[in-house]
Amino acid sequence: MRGVLTRRADFVISTEKGYRHVSPPQHLVRDLLTRADLPLPVLCGITSIPIIRPDWSIQDEEGYDTTTALYYCPTPGSRIGPVPESPSPQELQAAIDLLLEVVCDFPFADAASKANALAVMVSCFLRPAIEGQIPISLIVKPRMGTGGTLLADAFSYCVAGESCCLIVPSSQEEEMRKKITTALISTPAVINIDNVVEALSSESLNIVLTRSEWEDRLLGSNTQVRRPNRAIWIATGNNIRPGRDLVRRSFLIRLDRGTSSPWKHEGFKHEPLLPWISQNRGEIIRSVLTMFRAFAAAGWPQVEVVRFGGFQDWANKIGALLAFMGVEGFLENLDDFHQSADVENAEWERFVNCWHATFGDEPMLVRQVVEAINSKDAALRDTLPAALAEALSNPAASIQHRLGKGLSRFHGRVLPNGLRVVRLGDDRAANVARWRVIRCEG
């Protein structure tokens, strides 16, 4: 029974330094073994801030919330004073001003980046109200010392009173999956994939960003664990390049101090920032609730926001709140970011365009295309996507295998240049696929 409890729930005790994980107490185990039927509710997590539900109602009394399966247990630093039911314009403006003050020292490159940063901060508090998942925010800067990690920690301090749960990125997929599982075990409010060096690509990350639950095997055992995934996901780094499938699961916050030594900047309003947030955390939480109640009193005014695939509920709700705050620019850089970040698709578009210029609509075997690349066609070689170019110069890699996989991935897709890669079926004599690039009408 104790083992079952350990796998099914997290047991903690409160200490001066916060919560500490412990084993299930023996007296609880003995008591449970004497009960035939225990209608225990599901517990998805413990939060120290009032719970905003998907129907926009608020639980601000300590205890269990049946709608979200969260338990509200305020800590000393998160206790708040009375929140007005219908805030006055002055109370609303004071609340908005305090929230803006949290990010006032960061060098946002444009209005969209600042609006997107405020979206992350507000999302930390409204996470239970969002149905579905939230895209990962990429905090990108040209130089170290610009404040990317500090901005992520500022969000976490506001909602949880502590720094982010950190993940050090790994290029090894199995290692990345283990790190994601380890991070979700403690149900953190904010997870930061910190100090990404250029590329960020992981199938496990792509999956977790679209799942409300994460299931995996515990490290060093055969035990399967299933954890709720309600965290706010962030990645920070210098000029991050998201992988192909991560592009449509992410949005951009760009920081730029405009100097070669951003870490030498002076004149901050709040330095150090995190202790200031800790001291004012109760008022920050109260400001969020004040703004939210003013939004409710105004009749939940909605606005039109950009389409964001499977993250539309988040975009609609956060976009409406930011517009109510008077914040402009939310997700206005999304289309440009997606187009510029999707480097691999752009590379394949150039290559497919050159293929069509070279072979026309003629059906081709992968082997024939590789022979053309190796023998005479400089144009094809010059437009090779990076992965294929690397295989071409690496004897241990197979360009034919990589080209075949790439074509399979783009099969049936109409590229922005109007060309489409089509698999025609297998060549019966060679038992290999034939490929054709055609131009779509209209």
Tell me: do 29 and 141 sit in the same domain.
Answer: no
Among the candidates 306, 340, 374, a domain finishes at 340
262 within domain boundaries: yes
Per-residue pLDDT of the chain (442 residues; tens, 9 = 90+): 787 787 778 888 888 777 788 888 988 888 877 776 777 788 888 899 999 998 888 998 999 999 999 999 988 877 888 899 899 999 999 999 999 999 999 999 999 999 999 999 999 999 999 989 999 999 999 999 999 999 999 999 999 999 999 999 998 899 999 999 999 988 899 999 999 987 898 999 999 999 999 999 877 777 788 888 999 999 999 989 888 789 999 999 999 999 999 999 999 999 999 999 999 999 999 999 999 999 999 999 999 999 998 899 999 999 999 999 999 999 999 988 887 777 777 888 899 999 999 999 999 999 899 888 887 667 888 898 887 888 887 766 688 888 988 888 888 888 888 899 999 876 555 567 899 999 987 5
Give the domain extent around 30: 2-78
Three-state DSSP at 308 gives coil
Instruction: Indicate which CATH number applies to the domain containing 183.
Output: 3.40.50.300
Among the candidates 296, 322, 340, a domain finishes at 340
Cα(9)–Cα(44) distance, integer angstroms:
9
Tell me: do 193 and 328 sit in the same domain.
Answer: yes
Are the C-beta atoms of residues 204 and 176 closer than 8 Å to each other? yes
Cα(228)–Cα(44) distance, integer angstroms:
6
First to last CA, the chain: 65
In sequence order, which residues have a C-beta less than 8 Å from that of residue 392 and are 6 or more positions away? Answer: 373, 374, 381, 384, 399
83 within domain boundaries: no
Tell me: do 334 and 347 sit in the same domain.
Answer: no
Tell me: do 247 and 257 sit in the same domain.
Answer: yes
Tell me: do 13 and 158 sit in the same domain.
Answer: no
Tell me: do 318 and 194 sit in the same domain.
Answer: yes
Tell me: do 73 and 128 sit in the same domain.
Answer: no
Among the candidates 78, 102, 122, a domain finishes at 78
84 within domain boundaries: no
430 within domain boundaries: yes
Tell me: do 237 and 98 sit in the same domain.
Answer: yes
Tell me: do 384 and 432 sit in the same domain.
Answer: yes
168 within domain boundaries: yes
Cα(13)–Cα(293) distance, integer angstroms:
33
Tell me: do 121 and 259 sit in the same domain.
Answer: yes
Tell me: do 123 and 219 sit in the same domain.
Answer: yes
What is the total count of domains within the chain? 3
Tell me: do 246 and 365 sit in the same domain.
Answer: no
Q: What is the dihedral of CA 308, 311, 312, 314, to 10 degrees?
A: -120
